[in-house]
């Protein structure tokens, strides 16, 4: 097999080594790591292959690997950023790793957002909680070529103010005149000085009522939020073909062999993680 | 006139193959279980059985396999790959179902990305299959449109002679021809008749089943709950299935040194798909059994144009609660009629 | 009327009267010599039950399937004495309410089955006492036990090493066992990873020994794990040995009644040891 299909590696299960060059606390239990390749050849492969939407398997030897999106955009491929909530064995190890420590990385795997298909269109980004990272890589991919798109609206909600991630970037987006940012927290999740909306994402979206005309929506969030937000998008006149989302499932190999990530006949790791809402609605709901 | 290999020449064959650098592997009964294992003498081979308890996949995809070791220091991580040993082997006396199963899994392990561990072993192995002259009530190769003398996955097919003195040799691949050229002098030309193949009745209608499985309405059918009610969720059917290929990675060691392994895993296990959050897309045993059947007879054929089942019947033969593919597909056939 | 006819009738009555919502018993299997669990919801289904020497599975494990008993309705179940003992332990360990279980008991000897008097687990106490006092082992099994007992520790270790080497970690032994009802088994825990999940020598030893310990004083020797094991590890021998130890040391015969304290999880003030594991 040629390099082209092996992701440049002889042994597809053998990860590249990356160094943690920056680490940021985003929210309680949520951290972002910025990683740099140690081997220039690995970095070159990554630059050639990585497109926004793809995911990777991040790991610590001795603990294992864990799957997250690449939270940094293809327009900034000198490094990889990943954002994760500490919840299991691998994320616990990654969370306790320090700047300068080495971690493992396999990827990038999966499909991508067809960003050039979005050229000339308005964009609506909707994210809930820890699902901003996959959305964020699309947002930056578009912001880094801002003139190619129309109006950009971002609706982002979390359970509480503390649970909002990328707070520094939210501030930056807030201050830009070429983005409309709508922030919300669930009722009861507001702080005394909270200046933004209070309410669940679907209803806040309906209040904000962005036009569906010539608009692409990118929607990422927990399953329950996706379910209700799709209904709201429908009300706003969005066609399922113009709504993109990402699916996440437990993965081990990332390359369509280990057998656990499929929803119906669709392998999330190879045919996803990026799908249109129309594609998702064709999947068997009982497997999602 | 065809080439035949006589049973009493088998020891000489093994000697020649050994001399040529081949390991010889075949069905062996040891410790109250029969499985494919390395043999030194022909007498160790247990060729009289219907099929071994364990499958041929053990030889290509072992139940636990060290992939690489790691050693971590502050500035670097050293790893060492454990690739398969690189010895040529001849599997003598594989069953057609087992050999077919290897061919079924080839596209899966080579789907865009090549699994080094699988293909290194595949490339180093010659599979000599002996066609079956006997079957039991669980054998179902014919239901899968295969046969006791299917050639898929085999490099040589041996057809037992009617007088049981040996086998008629059918060379299928260059790799097989090369291995048999080492024993050319031991083969004979003979008009001997081959024995009748095992009679394996067709148990279900595969096409009807596929059609039923493809119908989205049947995904939520109550059938899945009924048929899997007694399933206890163990991994017997998957681990003793020659085509089941699911795996897990496990690190064993500490922060400084250890090994990353590839271990069998099973869609029957609740933990298989469970997210760290506790959410589980396949949260019931019926959803897991449905996945297994759908994967084998709908998704896999959809992707690779092959059923992920070669009809060995071990799933039913060995199931602790007497479930299995036969019953499920028979019931689906009934539902479709 | 044969015991099979009697029990078919009884199961049908239980279902048609509405006393139970379900009867778990044995139906035909995929071959004439196999029996498989049959879940009867109607009196008609009850006509499919078999009661004969081929009915070897201990069906009590199905009782603790998630949600089955949560509606407080009763369930009928065909049980051999070992199964009744399992119900007692599950009751003692607060996994089920024995009043919800209607037992159709039977016993098998030399290929002949006979019915047992009683329908509640508590109806069988005299049977349990008799079982405790008259523990039997088949000749074939005793021969193997004697062979192993006669081995030196090194030989015995080699024997079990060869047996455990066959283990493929399919967990059929666990899944079939009525006592293995934990929602998360110790081997499924990875923080920390108490037991290696890999099926290598160490992982297989860890798994099989941990399971033997977890079943000490709880195993009823129904033989389910042994029959389930697809690689033919003689698991009954381990569990029987542990049962013997517990019987000798604590006079504890598991599953005697539903109030029996778990022997390795209870502590007496006059215990000669100063700690418990």
pLDDT value for B49: 95
Residue B199 lies in a domain: no
Token digits of residue C84? 């009744």
Q: Is the pLDDT of residue A1 over 60?
A: no
Q: Are residues B98 and B179 in the same domain?
A: yes
Helix (H, G, I), strand (E, B) or coil at B237: helix
The residue among B68, B251, B284, B292 with the most chain A CBs within 10 A of its CB, best to mutate, is B251
Query: How many domains, chain A?
Result: 2
Token digits of residue B304? 């690779």
Q: Are residues B7 and B155 in the same domain?
A: yes
* String of DSSP letters for C205-252: HHHHHHHHHHHTTT-----HHHHH-TT---HHHHHHHHHHHHHHHH--
Token digits of residue C108? 């098998």
Token digits of residue B49? 């059985």
Considering only CA atoms, which of B217, B313, B231, B297 is closest in space to residue B266?
A: B231
| pLDDT tens-place string over residues A187-208 | 999 999 999 999 999 999 999 9
> Closest chain A residue to B272 measured between Cα atoms?
A260
> Closest chain C residue to B321 measured between Cα atoms?
C36
Q: Are residues A156 and A47 in the same domain?
A: no
Q: Are residues C165 and C127 in the same domain?
A: no
B327 CB neighbours in chain C (<8 A) are: 30
Is the CB of C35 inside 8 Å of chain B's CB atoms?
yes
Pairs across A and B, CB distance < 8 A: 132
B105 CB neighbours in chain A (<8 A) are: none
**Cβ A286–B220 below 8 Å, yes or no?**
yes
The residue assigned the tokens 């007497």 is B322
Which of the other chains make 3 or more beta carbon contacts under 8 angstroms with chain B? Answer: A, C
Q: Are residues B164 and B305 in the same domain?
A: no
Helix (H, G, I), strand (E, B) or coil at B214: helix
Beta bridge partners of C36: C27
pLDDT value for A4: 41
Q: Are residues A131 and A242 in the same domain?
A: yes
A63 CB neighbours in chain B (<8 A) are: 251
Q: Are residues A20 and A141 in the same domain?
A: no
Residue A278 lies in a domain: no
Q: Are residues C104 and C153 in the same domain?
A: no
Asked if residues B333 and B242 have their Cβ atoms less than 8 Å apart, the reply is no
Q: Are residues B111 and B22 in the same domain?
A: yes
Q: Is the pLDDT of residue C277 over 90?
A: no
Q: Are residues C144 and C120 in the same domain?
A: no
> Closest chain A residue to B109 measured between Cα atoms?
A257
Query: What sign results for the dihedral spanned by CA atoms A85, A90, A94, A96?
Result: positive
Residue C10 lies in a domain: yes
Residue B200 lies in a domain: no
Residue A267 lies in a domain: no
Considering only CA atoms, which of B84, B31, B22 is closest in space to residue B54?
A: B31
Q: Are residues B183 and B240 in the same domain?
A: no
List the end-to-end C-alpha distance of chain A, in Å, as a whole number: 33
Considering only CA atoms, which of A116, A125, A119, A139 is closest in space to residue A214?
A: A119
Averaged confidence pLDDT in chain B: 95
Residue C259 lies in a domain: yes
Q: Are residues B299 and B226 in the same domain?
A: yes
Task: Name the domain boundary from B161, B190, B219.
Answer: B190
The residue assigned the tokens 């006396």 is B93
Which of the other chains make 3 or more beta carbon contacts under 8 angstroms with chain C? Answer: A, B
Q: Are residues B78 and B104 in the same domain?
A: yes
Q: What does the alpha-carbon distance between residue A127 and residue A132 come to, in Å, rounded to a whole number?
A: 5
Q: What is the pLDDT along chain B (337 residues), one digit of tens a residue?
A: 689 999 999 999 999 999 999 999 999 999 999 999 999 999 999 999 999 999 999 999 999 999 999 999 878 899 999 998 888 999 999 999 999 999 999 999 998 899 999 999 999 999 999 999 999 999 999 999 999 999 999 999 999 999 989 999 999 999 999 999 999 999 999 888 999 999 999 999 999 999 999 999 999 999 999 999 999 999 999 999 999 999 999 999 988 999 999 999 999 999 999 998 889 999 999 999 999 999 999 999 999 999 999 999 999 999 999 999 999 999 999 999 8
Is the CB of C158 inside 8 Å of chain B's CB atoms?
no
Radius of gyration for chain C, computed over Cα atoms and rounded to the nearest angstrom: 20
Share of chain C above pLDDT 70, in %: 99
Q: Is the pLDDT of residue A6 over 70?
A: no
pLDDT value for C44: 96
Task: Name the domain boundary from C133, C162, C191.
Answer: C133
> Closest chain C residue to A89 measured between Cα atoms?
C191
Q: What does the alpha-carbon distance between residue A57 and residue A39 come to, in Å, rounded to a whole number?
A: 17
Q: Are residues A120 and A236 in the same domain?
A: yes
- Helices (H), ranges, B20-144: 96-109, 116-123
Q: Are residues B100 and B179 in the same domain?
A: yes
CATH of the domain at A200: 3.40.50.80
pLDDT value for A3: 43
In terms of residue numbers, what domain contains C8?
3-133
SS (HEC) of A111-151: CCCCHHHHCCCEEEEEEEHHHHHHHHHHHHHHHCCHHHCCC
Considering only CA atoms, which of C226, C219, C177, C167 is closest in space to residue C197?
A: C167
Query: Which residues does A contribute to its contact with C (CB < 8 Å)?
Result: 88-89, 92
Q: What does the alpha-carbon distance between residue C268 and residue C249 come to, in Å, rounded to a whole number?
A: 14
| pLDDT tens-place string over residues C127-146 | 999 999 988 778 888 888 89
- Name the band, by pLDDT with cuts 50, 70 and 90, for residue C266: confident
Query: How many domains, chain B?
Result: 2
**Cβ C231–B322 below 8 Å, yes or no?**
no
List the end-to-end C-alpha distance of chain C, in Å, as a whole number: 52
Task: Name the domain boundary from A74, A109, A144.
Answer: A109
Is the CB of B254 inside 8 Å of chain A's CB atoms?
yes
Q: Are residues C110 and C182 in the same domain?
A: no
- Name the band, by pLDDT with cuts 50, 70 and 90, for residue C276: low
Residue among A64, A223, A256 minimizing CB distance to B251: A64
**Cβ C175–B271 below 8 Å, yes or no?**
no
Asked if residues A137 and A75 have their Cβ atoms less than 8 Å apart, the reply is no
Token digits of residue A128? 């809930």
Token digits of residue C40? 């009867």
Q: Are residues C97 and C144 in the same domain?
A: no
Residue B195 lies in a domain: no
The residues near A144 (Cβ < 8 Å, ≥ 6 apart) are A73, A75, A76
Q: What does the alpha-carbon distance between residue C180 and residue A39 come to, in Å, rounded to a whole number?
A: 48
C197 CB neighbours in chain A (<8 A) are: none
Q: Are residues C68 and C182 in the same domain?
A: no
Q: Are residues C201 and C218 in the same domain?
A: yes
Residue among C31, C57, C170 minimizing CB distance to B236: C170
pLDDT value for B111: 87
Q: What does the alpha-carbon distance between residue C94 and residue C88 come to, in Å, rounded to a whole number?
A: 10
Which segments of chain C are extended strands (E)? 20-28, 35-40, 74-79, 101-109, 112-115
In terms of residue numbers, what domain contains A220?
115-246
Q: What does the alpha-carbon distance between residue C81 and residue A123 come to, in Å, rounded to a whole number?
A: 69
Q: Are residues B25 and B163 in the same domain?
A: yes
Element (H, E) at B14: helix B10-19
Is the CB of B58 inside 8 Å of chain A's CB atoms?
no
CB atoms within 10 A of CB C124: 26
**Cβ B114–A253 below 8 Å, yes or no?**
no
Task: Name the domain boundary from B140, B162, B190.
Answer: B190
Q: What does the alpha-carbon distance between residue C94 and residue C82 come to, in Å, rounded to a whole number?
A: 18
Q: Are residues B140 and B211 in the same domain?
A: no
**Cβ B262–A265 below 8 Å, yes or no?**
no
Residue C105 lies in a domain: yes
List the end-to-end C-alpha distance of chain B, in Å, as a whole number: 47
Q: Is the pLDDT of residue A8 over 70?
A: no
- Crossing angle of helices B285-294/B325-336, nearest 10°? 80
- Helices (H), ranges, B156-228: 174-181, 206-214, 223-227
- Provide φ and ψ at B27, rounded to 5°: -65, 130
CATH of the domain at A29: 2.40.30.10
pTM above 0.80, yes or no: yes
Token digits of residue C119? 């329908």
**Cβ C36–B31 below 8 Å, yes or no?**
no
- Separation in Å, CA of C38 to nearest CA in chain B: 8
Asked if residues C3 and C106 have their Cβ atoms less than 8 Å apart, the reply is yes
Considering only CA atoms, which of B212, B202, B230, B225 is closest in space to residue B311?
A: B202
In terms of residue numbers, what domain contains B13?
2-190
Give the distance, in angstroms, between the CA of residue A136 and the centroid of all CA atoms in the same chain.
6
Q: What does the alpha-carbon distance between residue A36 and residue A20 come to, in Å, rounded to a whole number?
A: 7
SS (HEC) of B252-282: EECCCEEEEEEEECCCCCHHHHCCCCCCCCC
Residue among B108, B277, B287 minimizing CB distance to A87: B277
Q: Are residues C79 and C145 in the same domain?
A: no
Q: Are residues A103 and A125 in the same domain?
A: no
Residue among B108, B114, B274 minimizing CB distance to A250: B274
Q: Are residues B157 and B271 in the same domain?
A: no
Q: Are residues A235 and A126 in the same domain?
A: yes
Residue C270 lies in a domain: no
The residue assigned the tokens 């679907």 is A202
Q: Are residues C148 and C112 in the same domain?
A: no
Is the CB of A4 inside 8 Å of chain B's CB atoms?
no
Q: Are residues A132 and A97 in the same domain?
A: no
Element (H, E) at C154: helix C153-164
Mean pLDDT computed over C213-237? 95
Asked if residues B126 and B89 have their Cβ atoms less than 8 Å apart, the reply is yes
Q: Is the pLDDT of residue A44 over 80?
A: yes
Asked if residues B183 and B16 have their Cβ atoms less than 8 Å apart, the reply is yes
Token digits of residue B307? 């059923």
**Cβ B251–A88 below 8 Å, yes or no?**
no
**Cβ A250–B253 below 8 Å, yes or no?**
no
Q: Are residues A144 and A35 in the same domain?
A: no
Q: Are residues C23 and C84 in the same domain?
A: yes
Q: Are residues C79 and C187 in the same domain?
A: no
Query: How many domains, chain C?
Result: 2
**Cβ C190–A89 below 8 Å, yes or no?**
yes
From edge to edge, which strands make up the β-sheet containing C35-40?
C35-40, C20-28, C74-79, C101-109, C112-115
- Separation in Å, CA of A274 to nearest CA in chain B: 18
Residue C155 lies in a domain: yes
Residue B123 lies in a domain: yes
Which of the other chains make 3 or more beta carbon contacts under 8 angstroms with chain A? Answer: B, C
Task: Name the domain boundary from A49, A80, A109.
Answer: A109
Asked if residues B163 and B192 have their Cβ atoms less than 8 Å apart, the reply is yes
The angle subtended at Cα B330 by Cα B327 and Cα B333, nearest 5°, is: 150
Residue B198 lies in a domain: no
> Closest chain B residue to A283 measured between Cα atoms?
B216
pLDDT value for A182: 96
Is the CB of B259 inside 8 Å of chain A's CB atoms?
no
Q: Are residues B102 and B135 in the same domain?
A: yes
Averaged confidence pLDDT in chain A: 94
Beta bridge partners of B44: none
Q: Are residues C127 and C152 in the same domain?
A: no
Averaged confidence pLDDT in chain C: 93
SS (HEC) of chain A: CCHHHHCCCCCCCCCEEEEEEEEEEEECCEEEEEEEECCHHHHHHHHHHCCCCCEEEEEECCCEEEEEECCCCCCCCCCEEEEEECCCHHHHHHHHCCCCCEEEEEEEECCCCCHHHHCCCEEEEEEEHHHHHHHHHHHHHHHCCHHHCCCEEEEEEECCHHHCCCHHHHHHHHHCCCCEEEEEECCCCCCCCCCCEECCHHHHHHHHCCCCCCEEEEEECCHHHHHHHHHHHHHCCCCHHHEEEECCCCCCCCCCCCCCCCECCECHHHHCCEEEHHHHHCCCHHHC
A258 CB neighbours in chain B (<8 A) are: 246-248, 265
Q: Are residues A242 and A149 in the same domain?
A: yes
């Amino acid at each position: 097999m040629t390099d082209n299909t092996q992701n440049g590696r002889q042994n597809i299960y053998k990860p590249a080594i990356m160094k943690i060059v920056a680490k940021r606390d985003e929210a309680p239990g949520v951290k972002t790591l910025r990683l740099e390749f140690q081997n220039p050849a690995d970095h070159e492969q990554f630059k050639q292959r990585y497109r926004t939407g793809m995911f990777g398997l991040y790991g610590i030897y001795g603990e294992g690997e864990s799957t997250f999106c690449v939270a940094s955009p293809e327009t900034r491929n000198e490094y990889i950023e990943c954002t994760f909530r500490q919840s299991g064995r691998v994320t616990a190890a990654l969370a306790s790793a320090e700047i300068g420590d080495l971690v493992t990385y396999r990827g990038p795997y999966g499909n991508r957002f067809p960003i050039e298909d979005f050229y000339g269109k308005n964009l609506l980004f909707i994210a809930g909680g820890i699902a901003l990272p996959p959305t964020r890589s699309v947002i930056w991919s578009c912001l880094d070529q801002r003139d190619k798109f129309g109006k950009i609206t971002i609706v982002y909600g979390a359970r509480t103010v503390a649970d909002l991630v990328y707070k520094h970037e939210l501030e930056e987006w807030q201050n830009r005149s070429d983005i409309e940012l709508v922030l919300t927290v669930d009722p009861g999740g507001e702080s005394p000085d909270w200046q933004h909306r209070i309410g669940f994402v679907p209803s806040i979206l309906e209040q904000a009522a962005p036009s569906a005309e010539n608009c692409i929506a990118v929607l990422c969030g927990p399953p329950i939020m996706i379910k209700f937000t799709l209904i709201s998008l429908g009300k706003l006149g969005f066609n399922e073909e113009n709504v993109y989302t990402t699916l996440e499932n437990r993965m081990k190999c990332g390359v369509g062999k280990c057998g656990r990530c499929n929803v119906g006949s669709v392998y999330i790791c190879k045919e996803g993680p990026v799908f249109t809402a129309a594609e998702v609605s064709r999947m068997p709901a009982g497997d999602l | 006139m065809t080439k035949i290999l006589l049973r009493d020449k088998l020891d000489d064959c093994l000697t020649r193959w050994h001399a040529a650098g081949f390991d010889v592997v075949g069905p062996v009964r040891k410790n109250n279980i029969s499985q494919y294992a390395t043999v030194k003498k022909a007498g160790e081979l247990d060729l009289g059985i219907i099929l071994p308890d364990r499958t041929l996949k053990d030889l290509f995809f072992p139940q636990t396999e060290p992939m690489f070791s790691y050693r971590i220091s502050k500035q670097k991580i050293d790893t060492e790959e454990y690739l398969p040993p690189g010895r040529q082997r001849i599997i003598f006396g594989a069953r057609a179902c087992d050999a077919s199963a290897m061919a079924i899994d080839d596209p899966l392990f080579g789907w865009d990305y090549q699994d080094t561990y699988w293909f290194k072993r595949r490339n180093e192995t010659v599979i000599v299959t002996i066609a079956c002259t006997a079957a039991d009530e669980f054998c179902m190769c014919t239901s899968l449109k295969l046969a006791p003398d299917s050639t898929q996955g085999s490099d040589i097919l041996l057809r037992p002679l009617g007088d049981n003195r040996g086998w008629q040799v059918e060379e299928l691949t260059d790799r097989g021809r090369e291995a048999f050229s080492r024993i050319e002098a031991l083969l004979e030309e003979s008009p001997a008749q081959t024995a009748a193949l095992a009679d394996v009745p067709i148990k279900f209608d595969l096409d009807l089943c596929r059609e039923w499985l493809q119908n989205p309405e049947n995904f939520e059918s109550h059938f899945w709950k009924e048929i899997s009610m007694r399933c206890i969720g163990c991994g017997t059917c998957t681990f003793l299935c020659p085509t089941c290929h699911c795996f897990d990675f496990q690190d064993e060691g500490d922060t400084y040194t250890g090994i990353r392994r590839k271990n069998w895993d099973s869609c029957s296990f609740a933990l298989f798909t469970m997210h760290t959050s506790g959410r589980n897309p396949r949260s019931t045993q019926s959803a897991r059994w449905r996945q297994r059947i759908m994967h084998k007879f709908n998704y896999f054929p959809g992707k690779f144009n092959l059923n992920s089942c070669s009809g060995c019947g071990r799933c039913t033969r060995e199931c602790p609660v007497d479930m299995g593919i036969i019953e499920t597909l028979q019931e689906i056939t009934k539902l479709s009629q | 009327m044969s015991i099979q006819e009697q029990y078919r009738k009884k199961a049908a009555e239980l279902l048609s009267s509405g006393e139970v919502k379900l009867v778990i018993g044995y139906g035909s299997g995929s071959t004439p010599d196999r029996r498989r669990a049959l879940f009867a919801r109607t009196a008609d289904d009850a006509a499919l039950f078999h009661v004969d020497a081929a009915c070897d599975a201990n069906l009590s494990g199905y009782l603790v399937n998630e949600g089955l008993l949560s509606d407080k309705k009763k369930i009928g179940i065909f049980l051999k004495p070992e199964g009744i003992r399992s119900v007692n332990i599950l009751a003692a360990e607060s996994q089920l309410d024995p009043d919800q279980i209607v037992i159709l008991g039977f016993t098998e000897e030399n290929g002949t089955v006979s019915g047992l008097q009683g329908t509640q687990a508590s109806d069988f106490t005299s049977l349990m006492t008799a079982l405790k006092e008259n523990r039997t082992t088949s000749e074939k099994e005793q021969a193997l036990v004697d062979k192993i007992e006669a081995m030196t520790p090194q030989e015995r270790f080699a024997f079990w090493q060869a047996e455990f080497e066959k283990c493929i970690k399919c967990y059929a032994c666990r899944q079939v066992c009525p006592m293995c009802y934990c929602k998360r088994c110790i081997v499924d825990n990875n923080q920390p990873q108490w037991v290696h999940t890999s099926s290598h020598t160490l992982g297989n030893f860890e798994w099989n020994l941990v399971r033997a310990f977890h079943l000490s004083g709880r195993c009823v020797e129904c033989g389910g794990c042994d029959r389930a094991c697809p690689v033919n590890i003689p698991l009954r021998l381990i569990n029987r040995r542990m049962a013997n130890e517990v019987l000798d040391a604590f006079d504890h015969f598991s599953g005697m009644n539903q109030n029996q304290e778990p022997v390795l999880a209870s502590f007496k003030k006059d215990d000669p040891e100063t700690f418990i594991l």
